[in-house]
Structure 1
Amino acid sequence: MSQSLINLLPFSGQVINLCAALMLLLGFAMLAQRRVLTLINLFMMQGLVLFVSTLVVALTTNQSHLLWSAGLTLTLKVIALPYILHRLIRRLSVKWDIETLLNIPTTMLVGIVLVVIAFNVAQPISQLSGTITRSTIGIALACVLLSFLMMITRSKAVPQVVAFLAMENGLFFAATSATYGMPMVVELGIALDVMVGMVILGVFFFQIRQQFDSLDTRHMERIKEE
């Protein structure tokens, strides 16, 4: 390892840890958020933090494929997906607050328990990992669990989709923390799947709204029961 890289490690490690802390804080902010527009903006900020973290790891470790990953993250998570989501909610005239199946204090308490579980599960994995980002594996897993909790405690379709996208952010952050990311072919495939999925979900939103005059997914459960 070169002397210049050794000198970079302390500062880059601090930046990566700061990004990890911001990812976790944004995860809790999204979990407690009641407004759809603010939720999308928080998702965009999470994507921006993920972009910065990936870029720092790429420049510090000379992992050139992570530069492409950072570019994909910026294009997809910070620009394209928030733009598509904003257009969808404008077209659907979505102005309501987010309905939760649990009240916010209870949801936050469950989230704290999930963070504790994530850190305990990730501890042996961190000891086996040899990356400079191994200390953030627990936070990455916590972000995944918080996003999953957000997805199952929301009754509207749009917040559930945002939670699913935030979960993908957590998974990518975990991959970067544990093994310096996934192969480029896999990342491109995931990016394509996400974009195609957003198009399909956009059509799905309009169909739900046209059929039920609402985006509450519980209407579909009632049809199944009938």
Structure 2
Amino acid sequence: MSGYAFDIAHLLAGGLVLVSFMMIYQDRLYSLLNVFALQAVLLSLAVGWQAHVQGAHHLYVTAVIAILFKAIIVPWALHRIVQQLGIHREVETVVSVGPTMLAGMGLVALSILLMLRLTAASGNALAREDLAFALSVILLGLLMMVTRRNAVSQVVGFMSLENGLILAAAGAKGMPLVVEISVAFSVLVAMIVIGVFLFRIRERFDSVDISALDEFRGERR
């Protein structure tokens, strides 16, 4: 593989990690959704570049699915949900942004050290380092889910986690077309379920702050 191909692949994968930190930093829901759309665009470019480098043309389908569904349809749908529910525009956090960013840096360092050590026997340097970046995106998405109170921001964290899984699958010599199609349908089904879920929470508790659920169950005083 030529040097520029290697560098571009790392630039795109590293960009996904950087955008994950940008998502953690956001304190407004609309800004968070816009940054998630940017992450989806970078995912599409990263997968498309992997398709070019690997000669795996079926990965172009994944790239198109990512940019259509995750960069356009899903952010638009979540914008509509936020407007329809009249949700507070601020992102409510369990832990402040500073400690969360520090925890994210630790998770990225752990991901790189762990993945490079586990894949030391592999002769494919690009796949090894892309898997390290992908694991970083997954863990940062999980961190967002844990440190956010608002259900919408938790949904965004879950979909960011899924972006990391797609990046990992594409970097590890691609994935079958049937998996790509199933991912697209799973995203659509998830959006329908999430929409119904959020509307029901809003109708029942007049809020999408998950702390209201704890109070309803008697876990908070």
- The equivalent of 1:27 in structure 2 is 20
Whether 2:172 is the aligned partner of 1:161: answer: no
RMSD: 1.6
Equivalent in 30, 38, 41 of residue 37 of structure 1: 30
Asked whether the equivalents of residues 37 and 71 of structure 2 are also in contact (C-alpha less than 8 Å), the reply is: yes
Provide the aligned length of Structure 1 versus Structure 2: 218
In 1: Cα distance, 2:15 partner to 2:186 partner: 27
- Alpha-carbon distance in structure 2 between the residues aligned to 1:132 and 1:102: 35
CA–CA distance in 2 between the matches of 1:211 and 1:129? Answer: 55
Q: Report the Cα offset of residue 200 of structure 1.
A: 1.0
**What TM-score comes out, normalization by structure 1 length?**
0.91
TM-score normalised by structure 2 residue count: 0.93
How many Å apart are 1:146 and its aligned residue? 0.7
1:13 aligns with 2:2: no
* Residues 110-189 of structure 1: pairs in structure 2 closer than 5 A: 110-127=103-120, 128=122, 130=124, 132-177=126-171, 179-189=172-182
Q: Give unpaired runs (5+ residues) of structure 1.
A: 1-5
1:196 counterpart letter in structure 2? V
The answer for the alignment partner of 2:82 in structure 1 is 89
The 1:225/1:181 distance shift into structure 2, 3 A limit, reads farther
Q: Deviations over 1:66-110 (max 9, x none)?
A: 111111111111111111111111111234211111111111111
Cα deviation code 1:132-172 (max 9, x no counterpart):
44322211111110110000110110000000000000111
Aligned twin of 2:47 = 54
Q: Which amino acid is 1:74 matched to? A: I
Alpha-carbon distance in structure 2 between the residues aligned to 1:113 and 1:90 = 35
CA distance, structure 2, for counterparts of residue 131 and residue 173 of structure 1: 15
Q: Which amino acid aligns with 1:186?
A: V
Paired with 1:77 and 1:172, the residues of 2 have a C-alpha distance of 12
Write the distance in 1 (CA, Å) between the matches of 2:143 and 2:46.
24
Distance in 1 separating the partners of 2:96 and 2:104? 12
How high is the sequence identity, in percent, across the aligned residues?
A: 34
Measure the CA separation in 2 of the matches of 1:125 and 1:171. Answer: 17
Is 13-22 or 150-159 further displaced after alignment?
13-22
1:225 aligns to what SS in structure 2?
A: coil
The amino acid of 1:42's aligned partner reads: V
